[in-house]
A and B are shown apart, each in its own frame.
Chain A
Amino acid sequence: MTGEQIIFLVVALFTLGSALMVVTTRNLIHAALWLVSTLFGVAVIYTLLNAGFMAVVQVVVYIGAIAILFIFAVMLTRKDLRDNTPQTNKNWWAGALIAVLTFAGLVFTLQGWSGFSKTAPAVPSGFDAISQLGEQLTSPNAYVLPFEVASVLLLAALVGAVYVAFNKK
């Protein structure tokens, strides 16, 4: 077992353990903080995949913005559900069964795929993933249209969020 594999296993266990805490812990502030540690684990996974830009965006956007937004939302809505009421549905076992079946089905389907256990090709020397990504995102021959649509979507979400949460009184 190589060092890379050991790092992957440790990070994967950390990520999955934090994710389990996110969905099972009673205190929602703690759930949001466990989400932060899950997102950090995923950022390390991106680094292992040679996607440094993705790792940075994960930390800046997900942890810096989305997780903080969650913490604010929890603080603004916290009054009920803090104490002894159950945090899960009555038929939580059905949800657990569906989740396990989904996982098993995904793994079973992937197992039949020929590329399932292939290893990564070597990164060619001089390959700059970030500049390549920037060119692809702004080139008319590649992905400039989805990029612009995403910016319009973000603007619409901004306006919609302000409108929905605006207190008219």
Chain B
Amino acid sequence: MIPLSWYLILAAALFGIGLFGVLVRRNAVAILLGVELMLNAVNINLVAFWRYGDLATMAGQVFATIVFAVAAAEVSVGLALVISVYRRRNTVVADELDLLKW
């Protein structure tokens, strides 16, 4: 049997890697890739808590399903923004998008 801790540590490591990608990458698309990794880490946690907790209520799987929907919405809007920005400013480097910076 696999103890719950293994899943939690895997999810924490995946979250850390995703956070590294979000903080460090310069390309906006790569930042969104890091966000996807973090969302997947959260989903692993939710499903693991469902499996190791109360099976009948299904709360973990329902939450994970909602996270799927939110991730799809986030990616579609985020990539649309990236494409729109690329069309207007001809760059996808997050550092160079400083219109709002004084």
Contact = CB atoms under 8 A, between A and B. Distances in A.
20 contacts: A15-B14, A23-B20, A42-B40, A51-B47, A54-B61, A54-B64, A62-B71, A66-B75, A70-B33, A70-B75, A81-B92, A89-B95, A106-B15, A117-B5, A129-B55, A133-B65, A136-B57, A157-B76, A160-B77, A164-B84
B6 A23 contact: no
Interface residues of B, number: 72
Interface string A94-130: 1110111011001100100001111111011001010
Interface of A: 2, 4-5, 8, 12, 15-16, 19-20, 22-23, 28, 31-32, 35, 38-39, 42, 45-46, 48-51, 53-54, 57-58, 61-62, 65-66, 69-70, 72-74, 76-77, 79-81, 86-89, 92, 94-96, 98-100, 102-103, 106-107, 110, 115-121, 123-124, 127, 129, 132-133, 136-137, 142-143, 146-147, 150-151, 153-154, 156-158, 160-162, 164-165, 167
Main secondary structure of the interface of B (DSSP, over half): helix
Interface centre among A22, A53, A107, by most chain B C-beta atoms within 10 angstroms, is: A22
A165 B29 contact: no
A154 B57 CA distance: 25
